Chains A and B, each alone.
Chain A
Amino acid sequence: MTTEGTKAGGVSAGLGDGDWEELVSVALLGTGRRKASPGALLDAAAVQTVRRRAGLRPAEAGPRPDPAPRDPRPAPPEAARRRLAQLLAGRTGAGSGGGRRGAAPDLTELLPQWLAAAGRHGYRAPHALVPALLDAARARTDLRAPALALAGARGLWLARLNPDWRFALRGGAGGAGELPDPQDRAGVERLWQEGLFAERVALLGLVRAHEPAAATRLLTTTWATERAEDRLMFLDSLRVGLSEGDEPFLEEALGDRSRNVRSTAAELLSALPRSALAGRMAERALACVGPQGVTPPAECDAGMLRDGVVERPPAGRGERAWWLGQLVEAAPLSCWRERFGGLGAAEIVALPVAGGESWREELHAAWCRAAVRQRDPRWAKALLGAASAPPATAPGTASLAERAKLLSVLPEAERAQWVAEFIRAHGLSEAFQLLGVCLVPWAGTLGRAVVDALDAAREAGSYPWSFSGVMGLAERCLDPAEAERLEAVVARGAAFADPAEASSGAAAYWAEAFQRLVATLRLRAAMLAELAPA
């Protein structure tokens, strides 16, 4: 703002004509030095101040931001808007709660589901909530893709104005608006040459989705001049949509200067069962493993090194076992049927291994890694074994983390079925990681198995916090339709509990935990219903 008339003529004696700057400098140094009266100075300053304020005029407007592009998507219905505001406010307010969780749902965990559901309906974020959404996405990387998709053009427009939200402009779903059309050769070429690293990764993904061969062509143009860590990242981005068309480029990368680049290229090639590298690995692996037993490689030759085998084992492991593991892991699983006289995966896995237990373990662990890498459901199933058998006797591995990886290779229905059987046999305490790879919502058999197992745990007198991980997961993942059955369980618990016990700890805590679970399921159902277009 500017001021009209900064002069206050003849207001004060001995203070010039009352020019404001003059008044300030006198005030700063003190009227004592000027032999002026402080009262007169204050009088003059008061007149000046009120005059200046009363005479304020608008300032010159700065450059205006370009208007945000129109977002044609509809805003969510009123009730859903309010819900999102609540979920976003709950995100920041969560810290104030603390301590034992009550019977009320945990709102922060529902945000990802809301975002995903709103995305499925094709809504845009309500404009007023875009800043809160960007803040949430900044704090939680798992929210970024759905939050940015929902915020859309308005979100990107805001992110360009606020450095705090710059992440939204980098790569991923958010940057998609910035990228040229994949068929615009000049535009692609320019961004590839001049873009930031994240933009180039996003560009590569876009071009690759459009025409895989064009992506490797693009990579080849600058490959020799890229930094080693960038080469590694580019290579890593080829995992998505990996195909046999990528083989020549990857084969080339086996001769790279950087060891990490070489081994990543080898790993990608081994995931292509028909690649030349997979063939070479099969040959080496077949020489070591057969119906007669295991003969690990005697040395790590130059060919093995070039194909990505790491020579030095980690501390505590024998080098020959280490090499064997790498060969078997990289060999296509399809090569074993013939080697073992036409046996299927399950039968091969069930065979005893001559040479002792440790060789069996090495071999099966390598097959597990191969099944995951090659996404082979038949081998994965064979290595998982029966869900009801004790984990220690599992054919592949007893490690829950490894088994969760194997599970993720199975088709969804089979996965849920396997986990449901596992829970029925072993209860929930071991099931956390396995449940994590199941598709949400847990419906049918799996949902029932979880509810029954929780009920069994209650009856057995355990405390609910022993299951807090599974409980939290169940709140987010259980099919809301299970709320009915859960309420029946709660009612049954209340009816049968003997009064003395009911007032004691466990029963009350279980009641609370089940209440929260039911409340959260109902909330999720309400949340999804609100998003339905009116």
Chain B
Amino acid sequence: MTEQGVRPTAEQVLALAPDDASRTAGAKLGRAGPWSQIGGSASGLVWGLCRGSGSTPYRTVVDVGGPAYKCTCPSRKSPCKHALGLLLLWSARGFAEDGEDAEDGEVPDWAAAWSAERAAKAARTAAAAAGPADGEGAGRRAERRAARIGAGVTELEQRLEDVLRAGLAGQQQAGYGPWEETAARMVDAQAPGLAARVRELGTIPSCGPGWPARMLEEGALLHLLNRGWLGLAGLPEPLAATVRSRVGLPGAAAEGEVVRDRWLVLAQYDSVSPDGRLTTRRTWLRGLGSGRPALVLDFGPPGRPPALALPVGLVVEAEARFRPGTAGLRADLGERSAAAAPDRVPAGVGTGAALEVYGAALREDPWLDAWPVVLGPVVPIPGERGWQLADAEGTCALPVAPVGGAGGSRSGLWQLAALSGGGPVTVFGECGHRGFTPLTAWHPGCPEPVALG
């Protein structure tokens, strides 16, 4: 997005909004009225003064390449409504070619200062990362942490065995409390991955019919993870990295494989941890050259949405650095620049192939709940007891995962049905043991993706 020529669409801008209130407020500011001295530079800065309720107008500047935002308003949201409004205005008409109120690309001092400060900070961070690490100290710390996790794992194994010895039947009565306690112990043991799984496990008895089988499945997978950790030394490296990352020790990004590609943003959604303490934002990407899927995670504390906001349909040219383990899905994006959007609907696979890819991925990461798949052409079949996505040809179908988990929504399903009109569509979503969760769809023949939900 460093080119002035490539401007985001209004949808893409609105998708950056941290919540509905800012989306509405931002949309209202996306017109010339309150703005003055707006401008944009070739380096990807967009700025303007917004008249608010105070006597001094707010100074708003956005680095569209980041994207990063700065505004003198008191809002703690990022991007604030002023930044959104400015971007909407820019998306609607651009500033450089609009000589009337644009400042001829002359960056005002305050915007330039912010930009320079950002550049300096980035350089410092890069220098710190490249500099020599305290090898010995780090090694000792890692050892200590591994020992604590080991103790936690042993305790958790004991707890699982106790529960099974007594029988799952007692779990509905025992309630969530004891599991929360165990989860807290895992946090103390510095194994956040285990803590999260324990919390999920503890909620299963209250999740309706079929819970004992589901609890046994999840308990067994947790057991498998424990065993994996305890036998880590004997595991081949990729699997060992998967175990470490599942337990809560993500591999250093620096070790991963680097893939440079044009990445199409296929979906983005947030989920909140059961205790409400952490918002996780998942962004699904697909390399247009490599065809490789990538999952970028970003996190936010309560009340503050994660910062990374990539609207569906955007294509960024970037290096993705894949973290070791987790079936090679998890990636971090390096420096991004805008790239042209694809001119066709991505090719989809059938339902059988979709399940096969998921199955194959389980070989590398048996804890994987789902795998990103572009499915199509498929026909959505609404049903009172559950929806299906059926191959356009043949009699095979995937059940749609029950709504209520992460991602996907009822309104999204109906949107999908509306798009299809009973005919075949291409759908992107997560394909896993619970079924398929549709996240994005394409009108037949229209390359612009529609985010569902």
Contacts and interface: CB of A to CB of B under 8 A. Distances in A.
Contacts of B169: 28-30
B10 A82 contact: yes
A65 B382 contact: yes
Contacts of B398: 1, 58-59
A102 B26 CA distance: 13
A27 B216 contact: yes
Nearest to B359: A54
A371 interface: no
Interface in A183-202: none
B433 A27 contact: no
A28 B33 contact: no
Contacts of B28: 102, 104-105, 107
A462 interface: no
Interface string A44-85: 011011101111111111111111100000000000001001
B396 A59 contact: yes
A94 B432 CA distance: 37
B113 to A, nearest CB: 30
Interface-centre pick from B157, B418, B432 (highest chain A CB count, 10 A): B418
A64 to B, nearest CB: 6
B330 to A, nearest CB: 20
B164 A38 contact: yes
B366 A27 contact: no
A61 B422 contact: no
A460 B433 CA distance: 71
A28 B212 contact: yes
Interface string B153-166: 00001001110111
A30 B212 contact: no
Contacts of A356: none
Interface stretch (B37-45, B97-105, B350-358): B350-358
A32 B212 CA distance: 17
Contacts, number: 201
- If over half of A's interface residues share one DSSP class (helix, strand or loop), that class is named, otherwise mixed; here it is helix
Interface string A504-534: 0000000000010011001100000000000
A225 interface: no
Interface residues of B, number: 72
Interface stretch (A157-165, A316-324, A394-402, A434-442): A157-165
Given A46-B220, A64-B379, A97-B24, A27 B352 contact: no
A53 B359 contact: yes
A5 to B, nearest CB: 12
Given A24-B213, A61-B391, A157-B421, A522 B31 contact: yes
Interface stretch (A124-132, A229-237, A325-333): A124-132
A46 B381 contact: no
Contact of A27 (B168, B381, B391, B450): B168
Interface stretch (B118-126, B185-193, B305-313, B409-417): B409-417
A53 B362 contact: yes
B361 to A, nearest CB: 9
A161 to B, nearest CB: 5
Q: Nearest 7 CB-CB pairs, A to B?
A: A30-B167, A104-B28, A45-B220, A61-B390, A61-B397, A58-B396, A67-B422
